[in-house]
Every structure is written in C-alpha cells, then in structure tokens.
Structure 1
C-alpha cells in the first residue's frame, strides 16, 4: 500500500526545510563495502586456488585490507574534491556572467523554463523573480544548465566512510582464517556471500530494484570476481 515518507503538515514542512537538504554518504559506505569484500575475497580465493598456506592467506588478506582500502579512500577523496572544485569553478563563471552579461543570462533562464512548459506571462514572471534574487538565480543556473547540486559532500567524510566500510566488510572473509577453524574456505565463502547480499540489499534504498534483486545482483558479481581469482590461482599453482 502506498505511503508517505514524511509529514506534509505546514509546521513539519517548515522544520524539515529549515535544516536544509541532507547530505548522504550512503553510496560511499556501499562502494567501500562492496570493493573491500570483493577484492579481499578475490585475493584470498587466488591464494587458496594456488594451494598456499592459511598464513599466506591471512598476510595477503590483511595487506589488501589496509593498502587497497587506503587507496580507494584516497581516490574517493580526490574524486569528491574534484567535484567540489568543478562546482566552485562553474559557480564563479555564472557569477561573472551575471555581472557582465545579465540579459544573456536572463535569456538562458527564459529558454530553460520555456523548455519546461512555461509560456507567456507565467514564463516572464519566473524570469523576473529569479533574476531579482541573485543567489536563487545562480543556483537555478547551476542546477538547470550544469546539472550541479547545491549540496556538496565533504571529501574527508566520503574518504573516511569508504575506508571504514572497506575494512569492516573486507575483514569478513578473513575471520575463519583468523579463528583457525578447520577447512576455513567454506565458512569464508558463505560469510562473504552473505555480506555481498547484504550490501546489495542496502543499495535498494536508492535504487528502483527490490532488495532481494539488488542483493542477488551484487552476490553474483562478487562471487564471479572471486571465481576468476580462484581460477587464476589454480592455474598458476604449479609455479609456486
């Protein structure tokens, strides 16, 4: 049955809007978790396929957790910072254009909203109102002309959440080996599959896919990566 995600009472709306848009770092958690689990288990699968000792599995698994986790966090930091730099550059350009060519910028607003179906007096009202409020004018151009959101994510937080998710989720395949259980390969594979499915299910929070379909998709991708690594390790086992 359809439901409303939040209240639409005037007081509740005012309270929600007063705090501004929410900055989500969910995708950083999911990306870090998926990559950490896939790469760690893939490394371990390759080592197991090569028929090396459990000690080697643990050493390479831990090395991957720290080195690859830091690498991914650093990449996410750089990428997110590049997005913020691009936003600031485009915003500075729009501010300059409004100062130097205001009529041209008004025409851009006019054509943008004409494309949305506004016509005649309603269209001119939108153009006049926006062009009288500089901040709203700039934000409209950033969103409509450049597709840039006004809410920007923190590069440091994005990197931190990615690293934490990478280490936490990526450590799961190692647990049976660290616990020194008998034949740790199968418990590790089962636990890893569960993590893949759980991470994929979380993806459904911002995906039109159902939780079980998103979970199954991620499970298949992750286990395929592990299978490739195992096959490579198995094929090279005679060289070690």
Structure 2
C-alpha cells in the first residue's frame, strides 16, 4: 500500500501535469537512457579484470603478470564489448526500420487486413462497440500512427532508436573506468617501488567498493533498494572472483 501523498508532492505533481508542461514534454519525446549500457560495461569491466587478479593470485604468479594481463583485458575486452554493443543496438535499429517498411507495404497492399489487426489488438485490450470502432478509425486515419501502433502492439518493438555510437561509448568508458580499479594497487607499486605492501588486498577492497557503488547507482536509477542492488552486485562479482581464484589455485601445480 502506497504512503499518503504530502502537500509538497501534490503541488509538484500538479505543476508537472499542467497542460502546457505536458504538451512540451511530449513534443520533446522520450530521452534516451543508456543506464543498461553503463551497468553492462561497468560490472563486466570490474569482474573480468578482478577475475584476472584473483586467478593470478591463486596461481601464485608475479604482480607483473597481473599488470600485463589486466591491461590487455582492459583494452581488448573493453573494445570488444563496445563493438558488440554497437552492433547489437544497430541491428535492433535496423530491425525496427525493416519492420516499419514491411508494415507500410502491407497497409498499402491490403489495408482491410491491417485494419482488422488494429481492431483485434484493441479488442484484446477491452475496447468494444462504438469506442472500438472510433479507435480503429482514428488510428488507421493516420499512416504514421497506424504503423507505430503495429510496431509496438504487434511486433513488441519500441519506437525510439538509441544511438549505437553512444551506447558503445558508454559501455567502453564504463568498462575502462571500473575495470582499472582492481589494477590500481599494482600500477601504483610498479611506479613507486612497491609502496603498497599488500596489493592483492587493496585490489579486493577497491573492487568490492566498485561493485557496491555500481549496484547502489543502479538501485537508485530504477527505484529499488540501493542496499539490495549493491549486495546483489557484490555477491555476483564476488562469485566470479572466487571462481577465478579457484581455477588459478587448481592450476598452480601445472604452471609450476
């Protein structure tokens, strides 16, 4: 059960729903959100880089190996993820364009059948009688609205086309930024003659903090509990790290 609305919240809601502000907001269209791309890159960057640190620690190899493998992972895997995300978003945009052209062609060739599809869609939503026919007439009287309706309700596609370049850039930056944290103690030691006595420990702490921060940020953005989201991310990242450490420890004898 939702909590009672306060006078301040009511005033804010009334201001946001003034007719002029609603019209302006709808005319601007929905803003693109690249949260998924950021979370995707940040968590994967931290997990994969720390997995290398944990695996090397389990195998008892030197800190130099951590730096070499870690930097290679940052650049190669970060670029690979960015390219993969770019191609995935681009393919989704291309599918949307193809489906739009297909629907426009079907409307031109057989409008009666497409009208019946609109009727069936809104009949399933609970409309009937004169209200249903009015909706069908309104939608099929505007070709763009007609096609948009088919894209959303028949094919389950969104109307927005996110930028594939921005999605790839967000993924790459997030991967590099969070993925560099597990390597930071080793890089500092390499440049400062071993000033950090226990780089593996500090790497664990930094990685854990990054998991918590990313999870909390995700929780705040989606309106869920920050603590639950932070704990979920920490547990998933920790499980990957333990797996990598176990593999490295198990192969220690083979490497020796």
TM-score by length of 1: 0.96
Report the RMSD for the aligned CA atoms in angstroms. 1.4
> How many angstroms does 1:91 deviate by?
0.7
Mapping of residues 140-179 of structure 1, within 5 Å = 140-179=149-188
Which secondary structure does the structure 2 equivalent of 1:55 belong to? helix
Q: Which of 125, 128, 131 is the matching residue for 1:116? A: 125
Instruction: After TM superposition, give the deviation of residue 209 of structure 1 in Å.
Output: 3.5
Residue in structure 2 matching 1:104, options 102, 105, 113: 113
CA deviation profile, 1:27-69 (whole Å, cap 9, x unmatched): 1011000000000000111011111111111111111000000
After TM superposition, the structure 1 = structure 2 runs for residues 80-99 of structure 1, keeping only pairs within 5 Å, are 80-99=89-108
Is residue 184 from structure 1 mapped to residue 199 from structure 2 by the alignment?
yes
What is the Cα deviation at residue 85 of structure 1? 1.2
**Rounded Cα–Cα distance in structure 2 between residues aligned with 1:18 and 1:130:** 19
User: Which residue of structure 2 lines up, in the alignment, with residue 197 of structure 1?
Assistant: 212
**1:132 maps onto 2:126 in alignment:** no
1:222 maps to which residue?
237
User: Could you give the per-residue CA deviations for residues 154-205 of structure 1, whole angstroms, max 9, x where no partner exists?
Assistant: 1111111100000001001111111111111111101101111111122224
Structure 1, 209-218 or 226-235: larger mean CA deviation? 209-218
Residue of structure 2 in register with 1:63 after alignment: 72
CA separation in 2, counterparts of 1:104 and 1:18?
Answer: 31
Give deviations 1:194-234, integer Å, cap 9, x for gaps.
11111112222454631111110110000110001011111
1:26 is matched with which residue? 35
User: Using the alignment, how far apart are the partners of 1:204 and 1:119 within structure 2?
Assistant: 41
* Deviation (angstroms), 1:115: 0.6
Pair 177,217 (structure 1): closer, same or farther in 2 beyond 3 Å: same
Q: How many residues are treated as equivalent by the alignment?
A: 240
Runs of 4+ more than 3 Å apart: 1-6, 205-209
In 2: Cα distance, 1:201 partner to 1:142 partner: 34
Give the direction of change, closer, same or farther, for the CA distance of 1:156–1:15 in structure 2 (3 Å limit): same
- TM-score, with structure 2 as normaliser: 0.90
Partners of 1:172 and 1:164 in 2: CA distance: 13
Would the aligned equivalents of 1:30 and 1:202 in 2 still touch at CA under 8 Å?
no
> Hey, what's the Cα distance between the residues in 2 that align with 1:108 and 1:89?
19
Q: Distance in 2 between matches of 1:94 and 1:204?
A: 38
**Match in the other structure for 2:246:** 231
Q: Distance in 2 between matches of 1:155 and 1:57?
A: 32
Give ranges in structure 2 of 5+ residues lacking alignment.
Answer: 190-195
Task: State whether structure 2 residue 26 is matched by structure 1 residue 17.
Answer: yes
